[in-house]
Amino acid sequence: MTNTTIYASMIDSYNTLAYTHDYIFGFEYKGTVYAVETDSTVLPMILKLDRASRGQGMCLRFKPTTAQKLFLMTQGAKPLCSACLFNDEVANSKYNRGEIFEKMITESFGQRWEKDNVPFYMGADLETANKSYQIKFDKASFTTEKTLMNIKNKA
């Protein structure tokens, strides 16, 4: 299979299995951290196929290029905070960049954040009255080939 075929197949499988198809993506651009609410229709335009860790095959990753960040800006991205504040939060926490972004987004919805490890096919990162969201920050992994196969084999 070509990488293009693997990429399309993984996105299709992910979408079939995902608990929610609504997302909040975060990224840094020119000294500001942005957040954008969107749905799964943008996944083929902003994800990349990358090598997963040993034995996991390939993975889908959110690692936007400048062009992809500019595209997300056209989708309604809003400033969340300065990159300086964000990096200070990360530096003064035991959590990583993705977890800090998830915490900031959850709190911006007036909810208390708690770290969890709910798989993408069993629940969302954020539940509101209207929607359930997966929250992803720059360099986040979505899933691996092995994970997708394991879930399909359990079904």
**Contacts made by residues 41-47, CB under 8 angstroms, sequence distance 24+:** 42/71, 42/72, 42/75, 43/11, 43/14, 43/15, 44/7, 44/8, 44/11, 45/71, 46/71, 46/72, 47/7, 47/11, 47/142
Give domain status of residue 154, yes or no.
Answer: no
Residue 42 above 90 pLDDT? yes
Q: Quote the percentage of the chain above a pLDDT of 70.
A: 99
- Chain segment 90-114, per-residue pLDDT in tens: 999 999 999 999 999 999 999 999 9
- Chain segment 114-143, per-residue pLDDT in tens: 998 899 999 999 999 899 999 999 999 999
120-139 CB burial, b ≥16 within 10 A, e <16: bbeebbbeeeeeebbbbbbe
pLDDT value of position 54: 84
Give alpha helix (H) positions in 29-65.
43-46
Give domain status of residue 87, yes or no.
Answer: yes
Work out how many domains the chain is built from and give that number: 1
> Could you give the CA distance from residue 153 to residue 155 in angstroms, rounded to a whole number?
6
Give domain status of residue 155, yes or no.
Answer: no
What predicted TM-score, i.e. pTM, was given to this entire model?
0.94
Domain coverage including residue 115: 3-147
Give domain status of residue 134, yes or no.
Answer: yes
Residue 47 is encoded by which pair of tokens?
A: 């994800």
